[in-house]
């Protein structure tokens, strides 16, 4: 199975010519979104994105402009930097909403309690307050 993530190659393996271009574009879109998510509110210029991902600047500019138009990236106040946009946030919220936060966090909560000797509580937002969802005794 091919590697994915920010460190993965931006060049797909040899195959049919038309598919290669499409796969390369998909890989670049995903890499740019991952980079934007990792960078946070500061954002990056299209040139910085191209440099970090080792892709042609023209390709980075093209993909960034399209993702910006679709709302997956947004332009920072300076008009040059791009960061995650509202549609990227919506996508992440839908994904996180389907996860079991208690099951995912239980190993961390248990380890923290064991290391500190203190009780550790997992609190989750509930409306305008919080709800305690899990506890590990220290």
Same domain, 22 and 81: yes
- Percentage, residues of the chain above pLDDT 90: 64
Hey, which residues does 84 pair with through a beta bridge?
73
Dist. CA 80–CA 64, nearest whole Å = 11
Same domain, 87 and 114: no
C-alpha distances out from residue 95 to 84, 88, 124, Å: 16, 11, 16
> Is 5 in a helix, a strand, or coil?
coil
> Is 69 in a helix, a strand, or coil?
helix
| Residue 11 pLDDT greater than 80, yes or no | no
Q: Is the pTM of this model over 0.95?
A: no
Range of the domain at 119: 100-136
User: What is the pLDDT, as a whole number, of residue 40?
Assistant: 83
Same domain, 82 and 113: no
| Residue 47 pLDDT greater than 90, yes or no | yes
Task: Name which of 10-14, 50-54, 85-89, 98-102 the model is least confident about.
Answer: 10-14
Kindly state the tokens that stand for 13.
């393996």
User: What is the pLDDT, as a whole number, of residue 1?
Assistant: 38
Same domain, 21 and 85: yes
Kindly state the tokens that stand for 86.
């509202």
Same domain, 77 and 25: yes
User: What is the pLDDT, as a whole number, of residue 85?
Assistant: 94
Kindly state the tokens that stand for 94.
């839908």
pLDDT digits (tens, 9 = 90+) for 62-74: 999 999 999 999 9
User: What is the pLDDT, as a whole number, of residue 128?
Assistant: 84
* Mean pLDDT (the chain, rounded): 88
- Residue in the block written with tokens 């042609």: 56
User: What is the pLDDT, as a whole number, of residue 126?
Assistant: 78
Dist. CA 15–CA 23, nearest whole Å = 10
């Amino acid at each position: 199975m091919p590697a994915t993530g920010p460190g993965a190659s931006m060049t797909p393996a040899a195959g049919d010519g038309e598919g290669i271009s499409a796969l390369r574009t998909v890989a670049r879109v995903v890499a740019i979104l991952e980079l934007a998510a990792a960078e946070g509110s500061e954002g990056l210029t299209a040139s910085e994105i191209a440099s970090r991902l080792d892709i042609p600047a023209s390709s980075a500019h093209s993909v960034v402009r399209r993702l910006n138009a679709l709302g997956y990236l947004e332009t920072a106040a300076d008009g040059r930097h791009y960061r995650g946009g509202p549609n990227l946030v919506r996508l992440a919220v839908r994904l996180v909403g389907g996860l079991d936060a208690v099951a995912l966090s239980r190993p961390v909560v248990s380890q923290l309690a064991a290391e500190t000797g203190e009780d550790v509580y997992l609190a989750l937002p509930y409306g305008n307050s919080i709800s305690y969802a899990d506890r590990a005794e220290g």
